[in-house]
Amino acid sequence: MRTMLLAVLTLGAAVPAPAAVLTADDHGFEVEQSVALVVPPAQAFAAFASLPAWWDPRHSYGGKAENLSLDLRPGGCFCERLPGGGGVEHLRVTAWKPGDEAVLTGALGPLLKEAVSGVMDVRVEEIAGGSRLTINYRAAGFARGGADKLAPAVDGMLAGQLKRLRAYAANRPRS
């Protein structure tokens, strides 16, 4: 767990984000990241759903992205199998409009062990030359040391993940 928190904090400091922390205080924050993809919206969501293929394994509990899964349907899970058994539910899909929007709830990464609840809204819109995928994540509750201290790290982690998603979507075989 400490390794994952350090990885989140390190990446947050290493990836410059253009003022994507929208709000932050002791009890919560809102961050937003967007990425332009050179694929139509349906393919953008298909790439997003292929989460193990593009997720940075440093941002997993077991260190292996192939142990992650995302079931994009209401009640579906963004889950992780752990080596030796067990697992982690990172987020739960609470709403899904294919090709348009997914809403997931839960606490990402080190927030899992805090008294924090979060909502991740993933939207895709058509733009010239492809689509834009936007992730808005809002988390609130009690985070030791203050949620505002975690906001830049969460924002940086999401920025890094979307860079990986962009590369994956651009090179993913079309079906």
- Per domain, the residue ranges of the chain are 2-171
pTM for this predicted structure? 0.86
Query: What CA–CA distances, in Å, run from 163 to 82, 103, 166?
Result: 25, 21, 5
Distance in angstroms (rounded) separating the CA atoms of residues 127 and 39 = 10
Start-end of H helices in 15-146: 41-49, 51-54
What confidence score (pLDDT) does residue 100 get?
A: 87
Dihedral pair phi/psi, residue 57, rounded to 5°: -60, -20
CATH superfamily to which 2-171 belongs: START domain (3.30.530.20)
The whole-angstrom distance between residue 135's C-alpha and the CA centroid of its chain comes to 7
Strand 68-70 relative to strand 21-25: parallel, antiparallel, unpaired? unpaired
What confidence score (pLDDT) does residue 6 get?
A: 35
Strand 68-70 relative to strand 87-97: parallel, antiparallel, unpaired? unpaired
First-to-final CA distance of the chain = 38
Task: List the pLDDT tens digit at each of the 175 positions of the chain.
Answer: 434 433 333 333 334 344 589 999 999 999 999 999 999 999 999 999 999 999 999 999 999 999 999 999 999 999 999 989 999 999 999 999 988 899 999 999 889 999 999 999 999 999 999 999 999 999 999 999 999 999 999 999 999 999 999 999 999 876 5
